[in-house]
Structure 1
Amino acid sequence: MLKLLSYTENYSKIATLDPLGLDSFFQQLPDLNTSGRVDDIIQVFDESMNSLDFSWSTNSLIACQRDLGMLMSSIRFHSQETSCLSKEHQTIFIKLGETTDLPPRESSFHYGLWNPQNHRIRTFTSWDDEVELSRSVFLATTLLTQSLFYFLSVFPPMDKVVFDGVDSHGNLNINHAYSCLEKGLKKSLTSMANIRPQVFSQELRPFFDPIEIGGELYIGPGGGQIPLMIFDELLFGLSSFSSHYEKFVLEGIKFFPKPYREVFYSARNQKALLYRLDELPMEQQKYIEELAGQIIRFRQHHIHLAQKSFTPANIGKYTTGSAGYTMDVLHRILEATKQILKEVKHY
């Protein structure tokens, strides 16, 4: 939990960094992508790769990964090839991933949380919908991380939950966890409703296609890279309950910073809280169930919005999300969570 807290303090720092001096170029990138001037993008990409210094701080290298990754994804968009990098550049991205302890391409964390949410924002296009998308990822990830921190302060992952009661400070943290989760999920739904489906699928989605690096295919930023999946594991133990979800979540969790991964795998190696309610005081049992219900209600609304957007007129050439999964996975996840809560519900 302390590692997670320490890590959250770095969020704003990473977004402020511009180690490669690309602030002004990113103001031009949307126009270059629209006009197809990929040679200009490649030139700046090559120059930036050559100026990369691995002696820089981890935060600076994460900012480099953000900027180089978005340039790489722009090049991939124009080339229409999953393998759009030279072997030399692939080697650099692999080393960058090893140094930052992250996969060798940009993720939702880079695109949202570590993306400057001001005039310096990095976008692929000039669409206002994309600014809304980046900011929604930023806010949702920030709020869900805050919720996760408060939640873990009361329910730390361990082999046995032992509570004789929760003091007033603990109850305050419970309320904070619930409130932050509610706000984060609500922001996600609001943004989904505000981002036009055709703009997303036809103008934005092509920049999130998979890219091959070092012989391995890496998915682009997507909804599977936000902290909700950690709550799924803590509360429901979904990765063990559903084989469909297990593949989805194990692919997505790789893109999380290490403190998140540690919480996830700690939760994965023990029984989920919903199956351990009898170890908790009655007040906390009810709280856990209410939190699970909130997540289920979010997924119901999420599917409703996704179905409205996922029509032939809107989706263009894409039949899956950026992680390669269809709407069927969303339905399976919803049904799994509903089934688990129904099995254990006390109220």
Structure 2
Amino acid sequence: MRGRADIDVTSEERNEKVRRLDPLRLDEDLRALPKMNETADVAALARVLGGAVPSDESVAGFTPAECLAAMRDLGMYLGSIKRHGVSPFDVVPGAARSLELLGQRTRMIPRDTVYHYTCWNPVGERERLYTGHQMERCLIDAIRTCVPDLAYAVEVGRSLQGEDPADSSYSDKIFSLASYIAAADRAMGDVIAQVTPEFFAQVLRPFFEEVDIAGHTYMGPAAAHIPIFLVDILLWASDRSSGEYLKFCQEFASHTLPHWQEWCSEWMRTPSVTSRVTAALDGFRSPAEAANAESSARGLRQALRSLISFRGKHLVMARRAYHEEIRLYEMGSGGARVELLEEILALTRQNGAMITAATPR
């Protein structure tokens, strides 16, 4: 698949390649970004962004990795200017065209995503930060740590397509997938322990506001766009979800990697793993096949338990951050209300309970 080799998050080597790059020569300016945001110095932010916007010729000469790094750095100023109530394209009109060109080169949206902000963000002194606060660093690190595991979960899930849950290899893959999902649960636990709801809601959330480019609206680098929603679609949501959540999944997919966008569209039209495993348990099988199907069900049960644990922690954080006494916004950074998160958790629990009931002890 074209672009897949260069735009991926499973390889630490490839992620580090993007982190090392500074194609727009913004390392020094970005160190001052937290101070500019603290003083709401929109003029200075616009001046840096305007001076950094690459020409059409420069974008054409960038490697895919350089395009990702350039989008990452432009996005920090994009989100900062918007956070202070100003449209970045009013103060730097030429930025929109460069963002569109960079998006075309990478087959991603024409703005930065959660992957630019975390996986492709340098670690240490060169880390790109809106606020410079330690809690922002903790949030970035938690996402940066779990996304590669979730990407592997997606890869394993794709390998299950077309396979029979009564085959011996199926259950092995399901257990492997479940182990990768657990990384998201651990990361969410770290976020709850290290990032206060007040900091996220009142300090960091404003930097993730949406922007309009060429008549389309693009959300900021929201954590909601990590591939946990792809795991949902694969395991249960393609045919056991609500219309509202599937609609959000389609929107989330547009803010992810190119090949994931294609897989999301494909998986939403295919039976979920839950449906396939349930059918395998109900079907007539040889003793060996029945044992394999039961093992696959146990692996699926473990995967759903990890999802339920992650969703429960996420809901606790969201309820606190978007409580009316704390919140600045009613909608989450990914565009969803807390009520949708409650529905997703309830549906995941429902599917988990069904698989548990159908699985021999």
Query: TM-score, normalised on structure 2?
Result: 0.86
Is residue 161 from structure 1 mapped to residue 173 from structure 2 by the alignment?
Answer: no
C-alpha spacing 1:161/1:5, structure 2 compared with 1 (3 Å): farther
Q: CA deviation at 1:281?
A: 2.5
Q: Deviations over 1:83-122 (max 9, x none)?
A: 6465532222112211110001111111111111222110
User: Quick one: which of 17, 20, 23 aligns to 1:19?
Assistant: 23
Match of 2:345 in 1: 334
Q: Secondary structure at the match of 2:23?
A: coil
1-structure distance, mates of 2:143, 2:115: 8
Match of 2:53 in 1: 49
Match of 2:130 in 1: 124
Name the count of aligned residue pairs. Answer: 340
Q: Secondary structure at the match of 2:262?
A: helix
Match of 2:300 in 1: 288
Q: Secondary structure at the match of 2:131?
A: coil
Match of 2:37 in 1: 33
Match of 2:326 in 1: 314
Q: CA deviation at 1:298?
A: 1.9
Equivalent position amino acid for 1:295 in 2: L
Q: CA deviation at 1:256?
A: 0.9
2-structure distance, mates of 1:269, 1:226: 21
Q: Secondary structure at the match of 2:212?
A: strand
Q: CA deviation at 1:5?
A: 7.9
1-structure distance, mates of 2:324, 2:293: 50
Q: 1:1-347, aligned counterparts within 5 Å?
A: 7=8, 8-9=10-11, 10-50=14-54, 52-81=58-87, 84=90, 86-153=92-159, 155=160, 157-158=161-162, 161=164, 164-166=167-169, 171=172, 174-238=174-238, 241-277=241-277, 278-279=279-280, 281-315=293-327, 317-345=328-356, 346-347=358-359
C-alpha spacing 1:150/1:12, structure 2 compared with 1 (3 Å): farther
Structure 2 gap segments, 5+ residues each: 281-291
Q: Secondary structure at the match of 1:53?
A: helix
Structure 1 gap segments, 5+ residues each: none
Q: Secondary structure at the match of 1:166?
A: helix
C-alpha spacing 1:331/1:85, structure 2 compared with 1 (3 Å): farther
Q: CA deviation at 1:269?
A: 2.1
Match of 2:286 in 1: none
Q: Percent same amino acid at aligned positions?
A: 25
Q: CA deviation at 1:26?
A: 1.0
Contact 1:320 1:326 survives alignment (8 Å): yes
Q: Secondary structure at the match of 2:230?
A: helix
Contact 2:81 2:87 survives alignment (8 Å): no
Query: TM-score, normalised on structure 1?
Result: 0.89
2-structure distance, mates of 1:283, 1:298: 23
Equivalent position amino acid for 1:161 in 2: D
